[in-house]
């Protein structure tokens, strides 16, 4: 269920598993071969993107898919001039909304997990039901709502709905996690005179860092990649997020492949950096077995 348990499971079962596998199998070479095959094709588009990003137009016309010299790193400068603004916008949007979302979701999930208040299951069902509502149903009324609220073409038109919508899944995951935390610890803290708030802040939150991290990363990924909502609610180039900025960039720079591909590479870097710092969290959170039906 939890990230921690997942880790323990892996550690415990290894000696046994290693034993029987060694006993009846001579080698793993063909598995490596198969995995290499899959990975090669998974990475091929990205490798070719990087190769093309260093080409000028004649180089691309003659040798589109092989490395050509001289390299043209100036493509990156050119792309950066256009893409950097969109990246900054995406960082502001996803960053603000993830902070707001995690705080609100953690508080609500804590309430659902630890207090038997009247109406608890009803309210929780009210949150869960929203998991079933697809964006298609709400897109048009939500658009007209933010139009009436005068939010169109501001940063809030993205941030507020992202916080609202992101909570749903986060509350669902966090409630399960909070409920599984050992209750004796909180009881002990209360006996020692801790207030409800102190229990939450000094015991609950520190114990849940990993799952909060997973929920946060998933939220950043989904908001960062959103296309339709920013497309219909933002008009001005100054506010555009990366997805729609790149889309516009593609239309404007079609066939000038070098800088275009350099732009794609630059656009991928922020999330790759985020992933580099959190891969362990991410991989183990998803591998912990909590996610199934």
Partner 1 sequence: MTTEEIRAPASHATMADVRVPQERQSTLGQRIYRYRFVYLMLVPTFALLLTFNYYPAFMGLYRAFFKWDIGLQPEFLALGNFEKLFIRDDIFLKSLRHVSLLTSWRVISAVTFPFIVAELIFNLRSNVHKYTYRVLTILPAVVPGIVILLLWQFIYDGTHGLLNAFLEGVGLEDWQQPWLGSPKTALYAVTFMGFPWVGGVTVLIYLAGLQGISDEVIDSSLVDGCSGLRRIFAIDIPLILGQFKLIIVLAVIGGLQGWVAVFVMTAGGPGTASMVPGLWMYNNAFLWNKMGYASAIGMFLFVLIMCLTILNVKFVKTGDY
> What part of residues 76-95 is at the interface with partner 1 (CB under 8 A)?
none
Q: Are 73 and 54 in contact (CB under 8 A)?
A: yes
Q: Which of 8, 64, 67, 95 binds partner 1 (CB under 8 A)?
A: 64
Q: Which residues contact 229 (CB under 8 A, 6 or more apart)?
A: 135, 139, 158, 161
Q: Does 121 bind partner 1 (CB under 8 A)?
A: no
Work out how close the CB of 282 gets to partner 1 at its nearest, in angstroms, rounded to a whole number. 7
Rounded Cα–Cα distance for residues 276 and 40 (Å): 21
Work out how close the CB of 180 gets to partner 1 at its nearest, in angstroms, rounded to a whole number. 9
Q: Does 275 bind partner 1 (CB under 8 A)?
A: yes
Q: Are 202 and 137 in contact (CB under 8 A)?
A: no
What would the DSSP string read from start to end of 155-194?
THHHHHHHHHHHHHHHHHHHHHHHHHS-HHHHHHHHHTT-
Work out how close the CB of 55 gets to partner 1 at its nearest, in angstroms, rounded to a whole number. 11
User: How many other C-beta atoms can be found within 10 angstroms of the C-beta atom of residue 130?
Assistant: 15
Binding positions for partner 1, 227-246, rule CB under 8 A: 227-228, 232, 242-243, 246
- The tokens describing 162, both together, are 């992202």
Q: Which of 96, 167, 210, 223 binds partner 1 (CB under 8 A)?
A: 167
Binding positions for partner 1, 9-38, rule CB under 8 A: 9-10, 13-14, 16-18, 20-22, 24-25, 28, 31-32, 34-35, 38
Q: Which of 60, 76, 172, 177 binds partner 1 (CB under 8 A)?
A: 60
Query: Which residue's CB is nearer to partner 1, number 18 or number 238?
Result: 18
Stretch that binds partner 1, among 68-76, 91-99, 128-136, 204-212 (CB under 8 A): 128-136
Binding positions for partner 1, 139-158, rule CB under 8 A: 139-145
Query: Which residue's CB is nearer to partner 1, number 73 or number 126?
Result: 126
Rounded Cα–Cα distance for residues 230 and 146 (Å): 12
Rounded Cα–Cα distance for residues 64 and 54 (Å): 11
Dihedral angle computed from the Cα positions of residues 109, 120, 162 and 214, in that order, rounded to the nearest 10 degrees: 30
Q: Does 99 bind partner 1 (CB under 8 A)?
A: no
Q: Which of 168, 203, 248, 256 binds partner 1 (CB under 8 A)?
A: 168
CA 140 to chain CA mean position, Å: 25
Stretch that binds partner 1, among 70-78, 91-99, 161-169, 204-212 (CB under 8 A): 161-169
Rounded Cα–Cα distance for residues 162 and 143 (Å): 13
Rounded Cα–Cα distance for residues 16 and 128 (Å): 40
Q: Which residues contact 18 (CB under 8 A, 6 or more apart)?
A: none
Stretch that binds partner 1, among 71-79, 91-99, 184-192, 208-216 (CB under 8 A): 184-192
Total interface residues for partner 1 by CB under 8 A:
107
Q: Which of 47, 57, 62, 65 binds partner 1 (CB under 8 A)?
A: 65
């Amino acid at each position: 269920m939890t990230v921690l348990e997942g880790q323990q499971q892996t550690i415990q079962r290894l000696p046994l598993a290693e034993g029987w596998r060694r006993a009846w199998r001579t080698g793993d070479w063909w598995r490596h071969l198969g995995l290499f095959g899959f990975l090669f094709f998974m990475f091929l588009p990205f490798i070719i993107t990087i190769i093309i990003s260093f080409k000028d137009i004649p180089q691309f016309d003659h040798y589109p898919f092989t490395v050509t010299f001289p390299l043209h790193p100036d493509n990156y400068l050119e792309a950066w001039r256009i893409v950097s603004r969109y990246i900054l916008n995406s960082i502001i949007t996803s960053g603000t909304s993830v902070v707001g979302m995690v705080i609100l979701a953690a508080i609500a999930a804590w309430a659902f997990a630890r207090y038997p208040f009247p109406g608890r299951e009803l309210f929780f069902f009210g949150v869960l039901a929203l998991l079933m509502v697809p964006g298609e149903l709400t897109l048009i009324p939500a658009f007209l709502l933010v139009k009436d609220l005068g939010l169109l073409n501001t940063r809030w038109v993205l941030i507020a709905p992202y916080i609202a919508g992101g909570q749903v899944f986060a509350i669902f995951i966090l409630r399960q996690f909070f409920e599984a935390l050992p209750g004796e610890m909180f009881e002990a803290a209360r006996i020692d005179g801790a207030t409800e708030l102190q229990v939450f802040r000094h015991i609950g939150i520190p114990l849940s860092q990993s799952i909060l991290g997973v929920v946060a990363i998933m939220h950043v990924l989904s908001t960062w990649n959103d296309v339709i909502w920013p497309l219909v609610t933002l008009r001005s180039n100054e506010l555009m997020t990366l997805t729609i900025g790149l889309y516009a960039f593609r239309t404007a720079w079609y066939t000038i492949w070098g800088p275009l591909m350099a732009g794609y590479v630059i656009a991928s870097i922020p999330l790759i950096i985020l992933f580099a710092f959190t891969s362990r969290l991410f991989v183990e959170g998803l591998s912990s077995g909590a996610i199934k039906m």
